[in-house]
A and B are shown apart, each in its own frame.
Chain A
Amino acid sequence: MTLRKRLYSPEEISGAVERMAGAIREDCRNAGCDDYALVGLYQQGVPLAERLCDALERLTGRRPRMAKLDISLYRDDFGKRSALPLIRETVIPFDVNDTRIILVDDVLSTGRTIRAALDALTDYGRPGVIRLAVLVDRGNPEFPIRADFVGFDCNPPADHKVAVQFDADEPAENGIFEVEWKKFNE
């Protein structure tokens, strides 16, 4: 049996996205930069980045540029999994050189995905500044990586997973969930 507990509702997510957008705008304004770009990490970082772009457009009247990044070729667990998923399409429609970039992912866990994303991104050029925005920081870093913009902090047991669902067919399925994976043979 799988335990699935909703931690935050879609309304709470919307509020958090607005707060994060405000903080991103503030940070960029303090740096004197109004020409920044968001880079969403597959899978759920992409729809989150789109929502942040929507919110920033409402706030500033100007939509930031946005990219989608797949980090499959930069992971540190290559060969440790039994099957490989399809690589998704990386789309970076701007020059990353000297650009102020906000990396966007749904959940910050070990920090390994972000490490891979930094390597991937720097293969496209030399960004000016990279910040990190996550909807949930679940607080078990294995790498010295911290987020700059955080929607929620939570601290579930290490063997539980935090999952974000944005666009399920059933609205009741959307939200941030704590999931306990039970192995099939247990």
Chain B
Amino acid sequence: MEWTRKDLLSLYDLSAEEITFLLDTAEEFKKVSERKVKKVPALRGKTVVNFFVEPSTRTRVSFELAEQRLSADIVNMQAQVSSLRKGETLLDTVRNIEALQVDLVVMRHSTPGAQDFIARHLKCGVVNAGDGAHSHPTQALLDIFTIREKRGRIAGLNVTILGDILHSRVARSNMWGLLKLGANVTLAGPSTLVPREFESVGVKVCHNLKEAVRDADVVNLLRIQHERQASGFFPSTSEYARFFGINRETLKLMKPDALIMHPGPINRDVELTSEVADGPNSVILEQVTNGLAVRMAVLFLVAGCVKK
């Protein structure tokens, strides 16, 4: 097959072949970052705007570095300093950006679907860097890339995503990507954060930690946001840690070679103990390394299909 999309909005939109194509492309980009010259001229002369309406550090840094390694010119915009604060509509803001002959917009926004909306109105390419609780395709791609790199395949693997599923775009994106590639997906956590409704798309929903991790080849932990506690989804982070945190004892229940993943930033002693986070099962820092390769692949493919 060949890549033909100018936007990356959601893994739900992609076929299994397209996801595999992205992962295969990322493998070659991973090698670029291992060379002495870590830069290629592929996006020379192209301009990328990183438009983060919702704050982000690690995703923005990863995208920025990926763009630099592709030789693109970069502009960073944040909501706090943009005209959105002066009352300009989102569409007017991005149309103004496009009028500057920009080739790609990488956008994060708190409203689900914001990127789909602007992509329909722009000729330049759009990459979704996270929209509300909806989608975060590059995070899911880097998670799936890491699993495939470690296990050699996705199909048939048991992947448990554990934590605040309800508010998580990472969980949703991973779920779609993994299902398309044939994994068995379990969503787990407190019943207030893991609604049964997810079962309708073909995943298992589980509210018991032991049961959720016992047969897992991969356990992907999601960050517990302290503000959720105030909304009454769970009584306290220490109680969450007691019932759903991964520690030495939980590891003993699991397959000895199970992978422990986390999109970061981790809360030590909430989602997992330091022993687990820094232990042999953890691939958390490899996820960060792979994120760069995956984002280079996405930017390269998408930019190659922008028609101007």
Contact = CB atoms under 8 A, between A and B. Distances in A.
Interface of A: 70, 72-74, 78-79, 81-90, 119, 123-125
Nearest to A120: B40
Contact of A79 (B1, B39, B306): B306
Nearest to A89: B28
Nearest to B38: A123
A125 B36 contact: yes
A90 B3 CA distance: 20
A73 B40 contact: yes
B37 A124 contact: yes
A70 B28 contact: yes
Nearest to A86: B24
17 contacts: A70-B28, A79-B103, A79-B303, A79-B304, A83-B2, A83-B305, A84-B2, A84-B4, A84-B304, A86-B1, A86-B21, A87-B24, A88-B28, A90-B28, A123-B37, A123-B39, A125-B36
B86 interface: no
A123 B304 contact: no
A65 B106 CA distance: 42
A39 to B, nearest CB: 15
Say whether chain A's binding surface is mostly helix, strand, loop, or mixed: loop
B40 A86 contact: no
Given A83-B3, A123-B40, A73 B303 contact: no
B41 interface: yes
A78 B3 CA distance: 13
Contacts of A74: 40-42
B42 A78 contact: yes
Given A73-B42, A123-B37, A125-B36, 17 more contacts: A73-B40, A73-B300, A74-B41, A79-B46, A79-B303, A79-B304, A79-B306, A82-B4, A83-B305, A84-B300, A84-B304, A87-B24, A88-B28, A90-B28, A90-B31, A119-B41, A123-B40
Given A73-B40, A74-B42, A123-B40, A85 B2 contact: yes
Contacts of A78: 42-43, 303-304
Interface of B: 1-4, 21, 24-25, 27-28, 31-32, 35-37, 39-43, 46, 103, 300-301, 303-308
B35 A87 contact: no
B235 to A, nearest CB: 50
A185 to B, nearest CB: 20
A72 B300 CA distance: 10
A78 B41 CA distance: 10
Contacts of B37: 123-124
B32 A73 contact: yes
B41 A86 contact: no
The 8 lowest CB-CB distance pairs between A and B, nearest first, are A83-B2, A73-B40, A73-B42, A123-B37, A87-B28, A84-B3, A84-B304, A83-B4
A119 B27 CA distance: 21
Contact of A81 (B21, B304, B308): B304
Contacts of A125: 36
A88 B4 CA distance: 18
A69 B21 CA distance: 19
A86 B25 contact: yes
B28, B305, B306: residue with the most chain A Cβ atoms closer than 10 Å: B28
A82 B306 CA distance: 8
Nearest to A122: B37
Contacts of B27: 89
A185 B142 CA distance: 42
B35 A82 contact: no
Contacts of A88: 28
B21 to A, nearest CB: 6
A74 B44 CA distance: 10
B304 A87 contact: no
Contacts of B43: 78
